[in-house]
């Protein structure tokens, strides 16, 4: 059997953070029509509750991502790796910014656009993360 060590914990936490942040967005989006049918404050309350869970996990993705960078010898990696990493960090920043605007704006149009950018950007960060690991 392979070792259970700090690397196991680091990578498991990074994947857990990505799962909650992205999976939560997908599940909440699927629930929104039902919440709208319930009406009243239901969609807003669910979104607030989700935010209380999702943002700490976004922070966990950033912290464990920095931990990843400290563990791998970034200077030793190929130019392709550096480019993939730079693009990944850009989409993480774009997704985080869009999601923050999404939760703060009162304009339905801006909420729609930033919600989509937040989800698509986060999915792109996941794919670039996998590309970092598997080349």
Helix axes 108-134, 79-104, angle to 10 degrees: 160
User: Total residues contacting ligand HEM (rule CB under 6 A)?
Assistant: 22
CA angle (121 as vertex; 131, 68 as ends), nearest 5: 45
Name the E strands within 24-76. Answer: none
Interacting residues with ligand HEM between 84 and 113 (CB under 6 A): 92, 95
The pair of three-digit structure tokens given for residue 93, joined into one six-digit string: 């920043």
- The residue (of 43 and 88) whose beta carbon lies closer to ligand HEM is 88
Query: Of these, 72, 80, 83, 104, which contacts ligand HEM (CB under 6 A)?
Result: 72
**Contacting residues toward ligand HEM, per CB under 6 A:** 11, 14-15, 18, 21-22, 61-62, 65-66, 68-69, 72, 92, 95, 122, 125-126, 129-130, 132-133
């Amino acid at each position: 059997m392979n070792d259970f060590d700090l690397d196991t914990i680091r990578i498991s936490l990074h994947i857990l953070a990505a799962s909650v942040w992205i999976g939560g967005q997908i599940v909440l989006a699927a629930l929104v029509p039902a919440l709208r049918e319930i009406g009243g404050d239901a969609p807003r309350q669910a979104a607030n509750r989700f935010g209380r869970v999702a943002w700490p996990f976004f922070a966990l993705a950033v912290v464990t991502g920095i931990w990843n960078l400290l563990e791998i010898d970034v200077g030793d990696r190929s130019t392709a790796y550096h480019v993939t990493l730079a693009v990944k960090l850009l989409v993480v920043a774009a997704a985080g910014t869009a999601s923050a605007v999404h939760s703060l704006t009162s304009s339905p149009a801006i909420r729609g656009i930033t919600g989509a950018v937040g989800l698509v950007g986060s999915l792109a960060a996941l794919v670039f993360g996998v590309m970092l690991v598997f080349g």
